[in-house]
Amino acid sequence: MSAFIYLASQSPRRSQLLDQLGVRHTLLLPNVEGDVHEDAEAIEVALPDEAPANYVERVTALKLDAAVQRRVRRGLPDAPILCADTTVTMGATLYGKPVDAADARRMLAELSGRTHRVLTAVALQAGAQRWAVLSVSHVTFAELSPAHIAAYVDSGEPLGKAGSYGIQGRAAALIPHLSGSYSGIMGLPLYETAQMLHTAGIAF
């Protein structure tokens, strides 16, 4: 039984959520000094006509593949590795991380007054075994005026977040209704993750 797991994610929110569960973890991030360069962004490019659920599950699996190779390449101790990926989708449209403030304003204008889905895929590798789960939540935004959108984007919070918002931050004031997993919308569905860790024999 492992005393800790690796978290292969640059999201501070995922690390905080694992802390909330009491899961001991160490970050296993790409592109540290002395290691080979990994094109992490290339993994997140969607395939033509790819369904949102297929996209997020495929990207998570690729991230986990890369993390497994990273651990071996660096000669790190063997331990389970956890990966996750979150995307926002409305219809067949994917809303990933905005490239800049203008892109964030565009996304928020499109999400304004409508209900979208938040998909978070989680995958765990322990030895030769792999587990995966998909969390699906629905989030409804209030009608947002251009001024509301501009003020929120100017706060800097939307940058680096799928769909250009963080539900655990100021965006909470813009969301009258949600259903599903609040932690899943943040980036790591705690119930599903805990069940998967228990199934893999990881105690916490």
**What Cα–Cα distance (Å) separates residue 102 from each residue in 126, 163, 172, 175?**
41, 13, 21, 21
Q: Is the pLDDT of residue 53 over 80?
A: yes
β-strands 129-140, 177-179: how paired? antiparallel
Q: Is the pLDDT of residue 193 over 70?
A: yes
Of 28-37, 75-84, 182-191, 193-202, the poorest mean pLDDT is in: 28-37
The total number of residues written for the chain in this structure: 204
Indicate the burial class of 112 (C-beta count within 10 angstroms; 0-12, 13-18, 19 or more).
middle
pLDDT average, residue stretch 113-120: 98
Q: How far apart are CA 60 and CA 130, in angstroms?
A: 12
Tokens of 57: 């599950």
- H/E stretch holding 90 reads strand 81-90
**Domain boundaries of the chain, sorted by first residue:** 5-199
Catalytic residue positions, numbered: 85
Options 3.90.1210.10, 3.40.50.720, 3.90.950.10, 3.40.228.10; CATH of 5-199: 3.90.950.10
Q: Is the pLDDT of residue 42 over 90?
A: no
Q: What is the pLDDT of residue 1?
A: 65
Contacts 24+ apart (CB under 8 A), 28-36: 28/67, 28/70, 28/71, 28/76, 28/81, 30/66, 30/70, 35/70, 35/73, 35/74, 36/73
Helices (H) and strands (E) in the chain, counts: 7, 7
Tell me the pLDDT tens digit for each residue of 155-191.
999 998 999 999 999 999 999 999 999 999 999 999 9
In angstroms, what is the C-alpha Rg of the chain? 17
Q: Average pLDDT over the chain, rounded to whole? A: 94
Tell me the pLDDT tens digit for each residue of 60-95.
999 999 999 999 999 999 999 999 999 999 998 999
